[in-house]
Chains A and B, each alone.
Chain A
Amino acid sequence: MIPATFDGLMPIVILMSIAVLLFWGGHFASVILAPKKPSHLKSTPYECGEQPVGSAWSMFNVRFYVVGLIFIIFDVESVLMFPVASIFREMNDMGQGGYALIIFLSFISILIEGIAYCWKKGDLDWVKSYQVSLNDNNK
Chain B
Amino acid sequence: MFIQILFGLSALLTIGCAIAVAVTKNIMHSCVFLLGSLIGIAGLYATLGADFVAVTQIMVYVGGVVILMLFAVMLTGGKDYVSKAQNLLGLAPNMGNKWTYTIGLLVSLVFILTNVKLVSSVIKANPAKTFGNEFPSTVNQLGHLLVKDHVLAFELSSVLLLGALVGAAIIARPRKQ
Contacts and interface: CB of A to CB of B under 8 A. Distances in A.
Interface of A: 3-10, 13, 57-66, 68-73, 75-77, 79-80, 82-87, 90-91, 99-100, 103, 106-107, 110-111, 113-114, 117-118, 121, 123, 129-133, 135-136
Contacts of B155: 103, 106-107
Nearest to A85: B143
Nearest to A66: B172
Interface of B: 2-3, 6, 9, 46-47, 49, 52, 56, 59-60, 63-65, 67-68, 71-72, 74-79, 132-136, 139-140, 142-144, 146-147, 151, 154-155, 157-159, 161-162, 164-166, 168-169, 172-177
Given A62-B174, A65-B68, A90-B140, A4 B158 contact: no
Nearest to A79: B56
Given A66-B169, A79-B59, A110-B162, A129 B176 contact: yes
11 contacts: A59-B74, A60-B75, A62-B172, A62-B173, A65-B172, A68-B67, A72-B64, A75-B59, A79-B56, A113-B162, A133-B174
Contacts of B52: 82-83
Given A69-B168, A73-B165, A107 B158 contact: yes
B142 A8 contact: no
Contacts of B177: 131, 133, 135-136
Contact of A9 (B6, B132, B176): B6
Contacts of B157: 80
A5 B133 contact: yes
A35 B135 CA distance: 51
B159 to A, nearest CB: 6
B133 A6 contact: yes
Contacts of B175: 133, 136
Contact of A114 (B78, B132, B146, B161): B161
Given A9-B46, A59-B78, A77 B72 contact: no
Given A76-B161, A107-B155, 6 more contacts: A9-B2, A62-B75, A71-B64, A79-B56, A83-B143, A87-B140
Contacts of A117: 165-166, 169
B135 A5 contact: yes
B162 A8 contact: no
Nearest to A72: B64
3 shortest A-B CB distances, which residue pairs? A87-B143, A83-B143, A57-B78
